[in-house]
A and B are shown apart, each in its own frame.
Chain A
Amino acid sequence: DAKTTQPTSMDCAEGRAANLPCNHSTISGNEYVYWYRQIHSQGPQYIIHGLKNNETNEMASLIITEDRKSSTLILPHATLRDTAVYYCIVRGNYGGSQGNLIFGKGTKLSVKP
């Protein structure tokens, strides 16, 4: 089962920041938080991942709370093309099946003009 909880859906105005929350209260010390997104009828696309420090790349920023029990993915200037389902995934590093990506239902983000 997925180890994360996300809202089912969110709306965001075009040009504004989209903040997508994720709860992972049972995360263990060496588990990473990964974010992927899936645009309708396409394969998921990797966005970003982190352990405990905040991370930023050309797509997004990832803010992880100090206790690591929750995180927020930030799309700084959302566009219509960012409309997708966003998946927050906790991934173990024990090797074998613990390293596999386990997807929940994600958050459907709708960016509106």
Chain B
Amino acid sequence: DGGITQSPKYLFRKEGQNVTLSCEQNLNHDAMYWYRQDPGQGLRLIYYSQIVNDFQKGDIAEGYSVSREKKESFPLTVTSAQKNPTAFYLCASSIGNRIYTEAFFGQGTRLTVV
């Protein structure tokens, strides 16, 4: 089935460690996005990529890094520089960053710093 897959669903990290969240899509979409969600809040944009080998910072990029070496994959690294990394992370993709295309979301990764 076509879709967008995030792994793992739950992730625990020790304070001070970097951790990478996986996001893979087989929808042949050009654009991919990473969002962060805190309890009771809406989604906030971390990074987005409109095409392979290109990505842009969103509203809260500090402490995060991404890569887009393949069209299907857009991994997010939460670095030790991110002061409050515990959150629900959502990846999305769309055909392109165009007005008339909806975005499809993965099921999310819940990251907890212990």
Contacts and interface: CB of A to CB of B under 8 A. Distances in A.
Contacts of A95: 97-98
Main secondary structure on A side of the interface with B: loop
Contact of B98 (A99, A101, A103): A99
Interface residues on A, range: 20 to 34
Contacts of B99: 30, 32, 91-93, 99
A66 B88 CA distance: 38
Given A42-B107, A43-B105, A99-B98, 18 more contacts: A30-B99, A32-B99, A34-B102, A41-B110, A42-B108, A44-B90, A44-B105, A49-B100, A93-B98, A96-B97, A97-B56, A100-B33, A101-B33, A101-B45, A101-B92, A102-B45, A103-B44, A105-B42
Interface of B: 33, 35, 40-45, 48, 50, 56, 58, 88, 90, 92, 97-100, 102-108, 110
Given A97-B56, A99-B97, A100-B97, A44 B43 contact: yes
Nearest to A106: B42
Interface in A22-40: 30, 32, 34
Given A44-B105, A46-B104, A103 B42 contact: yes
